[in-house]
Amino acid sequence: MELYPLKVFLTVVTEKSFSRAAEKLMRTQPAISLAISKLEADLNEKLLDRSGKNLVVTDAGRIVLEYARRFENLGSGLENALAELRDNSAGRLIIGANESTALYLLKHISQYRRRYPKVKVQIRRSLSSKIPSEIIDGDLEMGIINYDPDDDRLAAHTIFTDHLSFVVSPQHRFAALEEVPITELGMETFIAHNVLSPYRALVLREFQKWKVPLNMDVEMPTVETIRKLVQRNEGVAFLPRMCVEQELQQGTLKEIRVKEMQMERKVRLLYPAKRGLSHAAKAFLELVAEEEKKA
């Protein structure tokens, strides 16, 4: 199969438009339509439903889209490898991370950019639960997660040890306290993150263990929205300490210890155990190791 029609298909889906895809690929719109039609004919599958106002990717189209992205990543890998042969300081570093774990990379990325200014750095937003499989499949070279993947195909390096922080508004009834027992939390409204994670499961288990009701009446898609609701005293939350450090320093949030819930959170840099790393990734791993020795 030719790779160009896959590139066209990926661009059409990404841009959600044949005309915008044509502009991006510097082709005519009929040429783009012809490439998609040829791909559908070669695969004997309908990939895009164009009957409505918006393009809809079919089930077969979603499968082809996944492989098109893999081919694109392989192409980028080839470009990186050739660039590194010509200039050891060139290349691209791509790291998968979710909203909260990306924060733990800020210090390392700043130092890496100062040392290797020619390397392009991209932090790709990914679900933490999918990062291990994305690395194994070659879609990512490195990733940041906050749990043990327990897979011998992967190697992990702890870059930060954090903990889940129970936070409330300065106007909350607990704000003047240093510590509360978990039994006092049964009447609270918890603002929860609607992304499943090992730490959400851990919080649920602890409340079940102590037979305390956990009222998660509000769920939000981002840590930022959770912080804002807690600041407005609309509820309380468990959040990674790193994600609320600035608010705690400014006094817009208060951290209260929960006696029965000391939940350590190890943040790990994940990479393939056996597959070779690019020069850019090796250099990042070396920098992380250096920082750990200084700590």
Which pLDDT band holds residue 78 (cuts at 50, 70, 90)? confident
Q: Where are the domains of the chain?
A: 4-69, 74-159+267-294, 161-265
Whether the predicted pLDDT of 105 surpasses 80 = yes
In the predicted model, what is the mean pLDDT of the chain?
A: 89
Whether the predicted pLDDT of 56 surpasses 70 = yes
> For residue 252, is it left (φ>0), alpha (ψ between -120 and 50) or beta?
alpha
Give the global pTM: 0.61
Residues forming a β-bridge with 97: 125
pLDDT tens-digit series, residues 250-282: 999 999 999 888 888 889 999 999 888 888 898
- Looking at residue 77, what is its pLDDT? 78
- Looking at residue 69, what is its pLDDT? 87
pLDDT tens-digit series, residues 171-181: 999 999 999 99
Whether the predicted pLDDT of 154 surpasses 70 = yes
Q: What pairing do the DSSP bridges indicate for beta strands 237-240 and 154-168?
A: antiparallel
Q: Which of 109, 101, 107 is nearest to 129 (CA)?
A: 101
- CATH number listed for the domain at residues 4-69: 1.10.10.10
- Looking at residue 86, what is its pLDDT? 59
User: Percent of the chain beyond pLDDT 70?
Assistant: 97
- Looking at residue 120, what is its pLDDT? 87
Residues across the chain: 295
User: Percent of the chain beyond pLDDT 90?
Assistant: 44
How many Å apart are CA 158 and CA 290, to the nearest integer?
A: 13
- Looking at residue 196, what is its pLDDT? 73
- Looking at residue 87, what is its pLDDT? 63
Residues forming a β-bridge with 175: none
CB 195 within 8 A of CB 127: yes
Whether the predicted pLDDT of 199 surpasses 60 = yes
**How much is the average pLDDT of 13-30?**
90
Which two tokens mark 22? 């044509």
Q: Which CATH architecture has domain 74-159+267-294?
A: 3-Layer(aba) Sandwich (3.40)
Pick the CATH number of 161-265 from 3.40.50.720, 3.40.30.10, 3.40.190.290, 3.60.21.10: 3.40.190.290
Q: Which of 88, 80, 192, 82 is nearest to 138 (CA)?
A: 80
- Looking at residue 201, what is its pLDDT? 83
CB 192 within 8 A of CB 234: no
Tokens 């817009």 — which residue?
A: 252
Whether the predicted pLDDT of 295 surpasses 70 = no
Which pLDDT band holds residue 127 (cuts at 50, 70, 90)? confident
Q: Cα torsion at 183, 186, 191, 194 (round to 10°)? A: 90
- Looking at residue 210, what is its pLDDT? 94
Residues forming a β-bridge with 164: 240
- Buried-state track 199-231, b at ≥16 Cβ within 10 A, e below 16: bbebbeebbeeeebeebbebebeebeebbebbb
Whether the predicted pLDDT of 226 surpasses 60 = yes
Question: Which region among 103-117, 169-183, 239-253 has the lowest average model confidence (pLDDT)?
Answer: 103-117
Asked if the domains at 74-159+267-294 and 161-265 fall in one CATH topology, the answer is yes
Residue 115 CA: distances (Å) to CA of 87, 94, 101, 287: 15, 17, 23, 9
Tokens 């909260």 — which residue?
A: 100
**How much is the average pLDDT of 131-144?**
93
